Amino acid sequence: MHLLWLRVATILYAAASVTIFPAVLSSSDRARRWCVHLGGMAFFFHFVSAVEMLVQAHRWMPVGAREVQCLLGFAIAGLYFLAWWLYDAMSLGVFALPITFFLVFVPSLGAQGYAFPSQGVRTSWLVAHIAALLCAYAALGFSLLASILYLALERRLKSKLKNLKDTGRSALDWLPPLDTLERIANSMLLFGFPCMTVGLVLGAVLVQETSLGAAYFVDPKVLASFVMWGLYVLLIFLRWSAGLRGRKAAYFSGAVLIFMICVWAANIVSRVHRFGAP
């Protein structure tokens, strides 16, 4: 029965992870209320599942990767809600709630992991996994390009202000206004983030059929992928909450894109996720 409660908690954590972004980035009171209610119910069902799991096993210590992930997610969620209650630090949920979801998602698949009903279904998941991550890479690259063009156009406009006699046309005059470039950069980030999240979730299911199973976090590419996801979240958070734009935004976007390329290159040393492998 504990598996049922854990699956309910996983669904509620996923919903809370979606609502936390408008609650924090847009300061939406409605999203804030939904996030608190969904997250609170998820934590309650998670608690019930964890207690029932340990009682049925007749022990109070976790054994195996799935039990450790379940209890680690519970600890992270508990600390987050404690910080929210004491310090009203709801913005920490941008990181805490999705991380908790990722941790409990794999254990919620079952004690023995997940097996695809057919090779065709597995291939479809693999195609969706790769396509989602490629869209995330492309979106971040496009966001970086918009940020670089923003810098170039900003420098050109400042140069014109310093030299009022300069009335000639520039090679950058065909670019859209600065505000448009900034909105393009933000929109691409917001498009790429759910693509990356979906890609990681699909990958977490696919890797359950490998020898790693629930211990897929020991794979270097998986670890790097989740670090990359965290940097993506941090970039979005800084752009919206701290007003990160212009030169700093371009540098940060470039650093995240370079890290993404490194993650892609890590495929050659990864024991799983080798594209093209059977």
Per-residue pLDDT reduced to its tens digit, 189-220? 888 888 888 888 888 787 776 666 555 666 66
Q: Which of 139, 150, 137 is nearest to 245 (CA)?
A: 150
- Residues 74, 149 within the same domain: no
Alpha carbons 107 and 205: distance in angstroms, whole number: 11
Q: How many domains does the chain have?
A: 2
- Residues 233, 208 within the same domain: yes
- Residues 92, 223 within the same domain: no
Q: H or E segment at 233?
A: helix 220-241
Alpha carbons 88 and 24: distance in angstroms, whole number: 12
Alpha carbons 271 and 273: distance in angstroms, whole number: 7
Q: Rounded mean pLDDT of 248-267?
A: 72
Two tokens, residue 209? 């059929």
- Specify whether the CB–CB gap between 209 and 113 falls below 8 A: yes
In tens, the pLDDT along 2-55 reads 889 999 999 999 999 999 988 887 778 889 999 999 999 999 999 999 999 888
User: What CA–CA distances, in Å, run from 61 to 5, 85, 153, 212?
Assistant: 19, 28, 59, 22
CA of residue 64 relative to chain centroid, distance:
25
Residues of the domain holding 19:
2-108
Tell whether 277 is covered by a domain.
no
The Cβ of residue 267 has, within 10 Å, a number of other Cβ atoms equal to: 16
- Residues 14, 146 within the same domain: no
Supply the pTM of this predicted model: 0.75
Output DSSP code: residue 177.
P
